[in-house]
Amino acid sequence: MSAIRDFIGLVGDGVKANQTLWLLVFGFALFPIFTHFADLPFWNDVAMRIMLLGMAAMGLNLVLGYGGMVSFGHAAFIGIGAYCVGISQFYGISNGWAHLGFSIVPCGLAGLVIGYLALRTSGIYFIMITLAFAQMLFFLFVSLEAYGGDDGMSIDRGEFGFIDLYDPLRLYFLIWCALALVSLALMFIVRSRFGVTLRAIKSNESRIEAMGLSPLRFKMVGYVISAVICGIAGTLFASWQEYVSPDIMHWTRSGELMIIIILGGLATLAGPLLGAIVFLLLEESLPMLLGAVAPAYAENWMIIFGPLLIMVVLFGRGGLTGIIDRLSGTRGNADHKAGPR
């Protein structure tokens, strides 16, 4: 009993230290009520995409923001997770839990292998190598004609027993549960001895060596965890979209994940989720805006988005969470002060 009370206490501490994150998570839980009364069910779909994208970005942020490893290949893990659903259905497995289980192992393995090969390098090498491996997997799936190749394969939503995923609300809450669990897990990981060591490696790797620890081991564990989280996001995404194609792991998707993280704020738990919200809202609204102002060019909204990114890099500091912190005058997010509260 006391162990459970202890755990709840830990959760409570964590929530207090990461208010923005949990505000957002609970916001997502309440969102369907709003869309029900406002009769805007389409926005539930958008919210689901945001949650999934945010989840994947949170996974990447573990290694990128907290661990300082600029991995440009994480879309590959989303893709593996998604294809695991398609491929298991191809062989007659329709159980959703099995899909999840199946995607965790290949993603973990891929994370291990790619991590091992890439993490012995750093800097520009690391970025390029992770990008190259992601491309390799992209081409692999393009060439696998049996699983749809370039055209992809359509997917039925997995059977999760009592949870009928064809009911949009149930799908929504399944995704929400995954988001909440991933948030919880990351919250613990980032503040734990492991997480703190990972963050220290980003700060000064040679100091960590001088403490008798092998940085590579920590980086690899972090990398595998982030790969698995992306894989879970991919699995659910495939179910939501009812379709999977190699495009899901095109290298530009990895770029999108990084955009989201930087938009929201590196090395914060809430950042990726915030970034996902802004990113997808921009993606929805820019074409509409452009359509109102210059209808002929509505499809070319990227021409605004591109320079927008450049502006964010040149002039934005700390992303959205940085702005929020400055506006609210607090440091509501990443843990900085040690000692009893």
Binder of other proteins out of 5, 92, 161, 337 (CB under 8 A)? 337
Residue in the structure block whose two tokens are 């450049």: 310
The verdict on 189 binding other proteins (CB under 8 A) reads yes
Q: Residues with Cβ < 8 Å from 58, sequence gap 6 or more? A: 182, 183, 186, 229, 269, 272, 273
The verdict on 11 binding other proteins (CB under 8 A) reads no
Q: Can you read off the two tokens belonging to residue 302?
A: 């990227």
Burial 258-297 (b: 16+ CB within 10 A, else e): bbbbbbbbbbbbbbbbbbbbbbbebeeebbeebeeeeeee
The verdict on 302 binding other proteins (CB under 8 A) reads yes
The verdict on 221 binding other proteins (CB under 8 A) reads yes
| Alpha-carbon distances of 259 from 240, 279, 289, 334, rounded to whole Å | 23, 8, 21, 20
Task: Please say whether the beta carbons of 116 and 220 come within 8 A.
Answer: yes
The verdict on 278 binding other proteins (CB under 8 A) reads no
| Among the residue ranges 28-36, 167-175, 235-243, 310-318, the one whose residues contact other proteins (CB under 8 A) | 310-318
| DSSP count for the chain of H helices, then E strands | 14, 2
In 3-state terms, the chain is what percent helix, strand and coil (to 5)?
Answer: 80, 0, 20
Judged by CB under 8 A, the chain residues 25 through 54 that form the site for other proteins are none
| Among the residue ranges 47-55, 176-184, 200-208, 272-280, the one whose residues contact other proteins (CB under 8 A) | 200-208
Give the Cα separation of 53 and 55 in Å (integer).
Answer: 5
The verdict on 208 binding other proteins (CB under 8 A) reads yes
Min. distance of Cβ 181 from other proteins in angstroms? 14
The verdict on 16 binding other proteins (CB under 8 A) reads no
Give the Cα separation of 54 and 40 in Å (integer).
Answer: 22
Judged by CB under 8 A, the chain residues 80 through 119 that form the site for other proteins are 117-118
The verdict on 297 binding other proteins (CB under 8 A) reads yes
Comparing CB distances to other proteins, the nearer of 124 and 327 is 124
Binder of other proteins out of 307, 326, 330, 331 (CB under 8 A)? 307
The verdict on 310 binding other proteins (CB under 8 A) reads yes
The verdict on 211 binding other proteins (CB under 8 A) reads yes
How many amino acids of this chain bind other proteins (CB under 8 A)?
79
The verdict on 5 binding other proteins (CB under 8 A) reads no
Comparing CB distances to other proteins, the nearer of 10 and 169 is 10
Binder of other proteins out of 46, 98, 135, 283 (CB under 8 A)? 135
Binder of other proteins out of 161, 212, 295, 329 (CB under 8 A)? 212
Min. distance of Cβ 131 from other proteins in angstroms? 6
Give the Cα separation of 14 and 16 in Å (integer).
Answer: 5
